[in-house]
Structure 1
Amino acid sequence: MDITDLFPLSGELGYLGIFLISFVGSIIVFVPVPYFPVILAAAVSGKFDPHMIAIVSALGTVIAKTIIFFASYYGRRMLSQNMQNRMLPLQRLVSRYGWPGAFVAAATPIPDDIVYIPLGLARYSPWKFALSTFAGKVVMNEVMVWGTVFLGRPLAQDVVSSSDNLTLLIITLASIVALGLIIYFSLKIDWGKLIGRWFPWAIEEDVKEGEKKTGDSNSSLEKKKD
């Protein structure tokens, strides 16, 4: 396949086409519909501003990933109250340090949904998630687009040629397995014990709440005795 075949409607759709292809390629969880060759084809065509390619593609991708994030964010309600309580220390931890994970997942070619879905389950800040993911996607897109601009058509053609069906299938299966394991252990692990060793501040509120309940119980007992 020639790389120019990937962007036949560039003259008609323009930046809207880049946006839509990036959105569709990112909204389907774990079904690889790579949009990278399309933005490389747009860069090779010489009809688009490289910075705008990177930004418009990142915008389409982030909107799609934010929808996935919110699906897991609100899907947390399906968990039992006990599971939600056990995840509170993890929720506090990612609330403070979740943005580096979102940024790295966006700025590298790893299957990013294995990071975004757990962040949603842990109820990470949607605004921090969107901004970190957007920044990461812009960085990655800029590198790819400008690499294509400077190194030319052969680089883009190599990327397209290497995106065969077997590779995409392996990535899909590996991503599904990884996410399944991450979600399973996220729900089963006692995060209070694990996180408390290294980040005691993440469980301090639970300790205080427990002491308060104990104090209230003791007060009630004393009143009954009186």
Structure 2
Amino acid sequence: MLIDFLKPILENPFFVKYGLTGLFLNAVFASIVPFPIVVTSTALLLNGQSEAMVFIIMSSGSVIGGILTYYIGYDGGKVYKILKRTHREEQQQKSVIWLSKYGWSIIFALSLVPILTEIVTVIAGVKKYSFKKFFISMSIARVASAFAMVYFGNMFLQYIKT
């Protein structure tokens, strides 16, 4: 059955071994380096973890990670220079142009996209974008994204189990 095939894949990741603490760390670090949060959350749901707890931990970790990357960019220190090397120049330029043109709405939209989210949050900090606008749009998007991941992940697991 498909669930027997997926179980070893979902239970292997580093963060799954540490349960909800691992999920929180995964969500925070995914804002800096793109670790797949959905694998960790789905594995925890598969192991019987509460959907509400997975959602709360994932969304709070993701928001904290967004704030962290904003301040990494705001500071403009060595960490930003390292992150800058991990992403293609064209992605960075697009994010700068989009942030200048669309403001908070692009922060919201790109916060829903897993890989682009860390680029736009760092650039928002570099450009010293209004923290209040940044925080509100980023938080709403990341909470919505966490809800969708938990809801559809749980739906996927229920489908596989039947």
- TM tier relative to shorter chain: 0.5 to 0.7
Q: Which residue is equivalent to 1:9?
A: 18
Q: Which residue is equivalent to 2:88?
A: none
Q: Which residue is equivalent to 1:58?
A: 59
Equivalent residues of 2:31, 2:69 under 8 A apart: no
SS in 2 for 1:9: helix
Tell me whether 1:101 sits opposite 2:99 in the alignment: no
Tell me whether 1:41 sits opposite 2:43 in the alignment: yes
For 2:119 and 2:52, the matched residues in 1 are separated by 28
- The alignment-based identity, stated in percent, is 26
- Note the residue ranges of structure 2 that are not aligned, 5 or more in a row: 1-7, 78-95
For 2:138 and 2:125, the matched residues in 1 are separated by 13
TM-score normalised by structure 2 residue count: 0.66
- How big is each residue's C-alpha offset from its partner over 1:65-99, in whole Å with a ceiling of 9 and x where there is no partner? 222212222329xxxxxxxxxxxxx9xx85x9522
- How big is each residue's C-alpha offset from its partner over 1:41-73, in whole Å with a ceiling of 9 and x where there is no partner? 12222222x233223212212222222212222
C-alpha RMSD over aligned residues = 2.8
Q: Which residue is equivalent to 2:23?
A: 18
For 1:153 and 1:131, the matched residues in 2 are separated by 33
- How big is each residue's C-alpha offset from its partner over 1:9-30, in whole Å with a ceiling of 9 and x where there is no partner? 33xxxx33321221123233xx
- How many matched pairs? 131
Which residue, 122, 127, 137 being the options, matches 1:117? 122
For 2:18 and 2:76, the matched residues in 1 are separated by 38
For 1:20 and 1:110, the matched residues in 2 are separated by 17
Q: Residue 37 of structure 1: CA displacement?
A: 0.5
Q: Residue 136 of structure 1: CA displacement?
A: 0.8
Letter in 1 for 2:44: A
Equivalent residues of 1:18, 1:57 under 8 A apart: yes
Equivalent residues of 2:31, 2:118 under 8 A apart: no
Q: Residue 110 of structure 1: CA displacement?
A: 4.1
Equivalent residues of 2:112, 2:142 under 8 A apart: yes
Which residue, 135, 138, 143 being the options, matches 2:143? 138
Equivalent residues of 1:73, 1:122 under 8 A apart: yes
Q: Which residue is equivalent to 1:129?
A: 134
TM-score normalised by structure 1 residue count: 0.49
For 2:135 and 2:72, the matched residues in 1 are separated by 14
SS in 1 for 2:31: helix
For 2:127 and 2:148, the matched residues in 1 are separated by 31
Structure 1 pair 113/20, CA: closer, same or farther in 2 (3 Å)?
closer
Q: Which residue is equivalent to 1:198?
A: none
Equivalent residues of 2:31, 2:62 under 8 A apart: yes
